[in-house]
Structure 1
Amino acid sequence: MFDNRWLLCPICHNKTRVKINGNTILKNFPLYCPKCKNEILINAEKFNIEVIKEPDAQTQSV
C-alpha cells in the first residue's frame, strides 16, 4: 500500500488540500494554501518539495 501525505505550505507550514503518494511526481504545480492565501509553484518527487522561484518582471529597454 502507498504512503500518503498531505502537502504542507512552504510559507506557513500548514496543510493544504493536496495529498500525494510516494510515487507522485509534480512539475510546475501551482500549490494554493487556504490558510495564508498564497499560490506557489512547486516541483515534488518522492515527498521532496522544491519551490520554483519565478524571476520578477523586468521592464524592456528600447
Structure 2
Amino acid sequence: MDKKKWILCPVCGSKTRNRVRMDTIPENFPLYCPKCKQETLIRVKNLNMTVIKEPDA
C-alpha cells in the first residue's frame, strides 16, 4: 500500500488541497493555500517538504 500525506501550508500550517504519495517528486511546485491565500514554491521528496526561497529582485 502506498503511503499518502496531505501537504500542509508552510505559512499557516493548515491542510491544502494537495496530497502526495511516497513516489511523487514535485520540483518547484507552486503551492497555494486557500486559507491564508499565500502561494509558496516547494519541493517534495520522500514525503519531506522543503520551501524554496527566492531572492528578492
TM-score category, normalised to shorter length:
over 0.9
Runs (5+) with no aligned partner, structure 2: none
Match for residue 18 of structure 2? 18
Distance 2:46 2:9 in 1: 17
> Sequence identity, in percent?
56
TM-score (norm 2): 0.95
Question: Higher relative CO (CA 8 A, sep ≥ 6), structure 1 or 2?
Answer: 2
TM-score normalised by structure 1 residue count: 0.88
Consecutive unaligned residues of structure 1, counting only runs of 5 or more, are 58-62
Q: Does 1:55 align with 2:55?
A: yes
Say how many residue pairs are matched: 57
Runs of 4+ in 1 over 6 A off after TM superposition: none
Root mean square deviation, CA, Å: 0.6
**Bigger-Rg structure (1/2):** 1
